[in-house]
Amino acid sequence: MKLIIPVFIILLGMLTGAFVCAFFKEKATELKWSLVAGGVGAFAGLLIRDSMDISLGGNLFGALFAAILGALAAALMANLLFGQLNPRR
């Protein structure tokens, strides 16, 4: 039971990263980095929420909002970085 929630958070972050990658119309190489950045960003958002003791939205919705916001920020930065480093456009 303790492994279900982290896996759900990782998948939610990866889906958010894939959405950001589709928004930028990136190729498969950037999709992999966006998925990784989304998963890591989701945990980073939760860690920031817990360390700052933010209770906005309650326990469940606050955690989901923090995970999605963290994944969105990390995937956005990854797509902007790898999109500018990639000269194939």
Query: Which amino acid, residue 89?
Result: R
Is 7 a member of any domain? no
Q: In which domain, by residue range, is 76 found?
A: 22-83
Mind listing the pLDDT tens digit for each residue in 49-77? 888 888 887 878 888 888 999 999 998 88
15 occurs within a structural domain: no
Model's pTM, two decimal places? 0.81
Q: Is residue 1 part of a domain?
A: no
Confidence label for 89 from pLDDT (cuts 50, 70 and 90): low
Give whole-number Cα distances, 43 to 15, 17, 28, 89, in Å.
Answer: 14, 13, 23, 31
| Count: domains in the chain | 1
* Residue 33 falls inside a structural domain: yes
Note whether 11 and 42 are within 8 A (CB): no
In a domain, 70, yes or no: yes
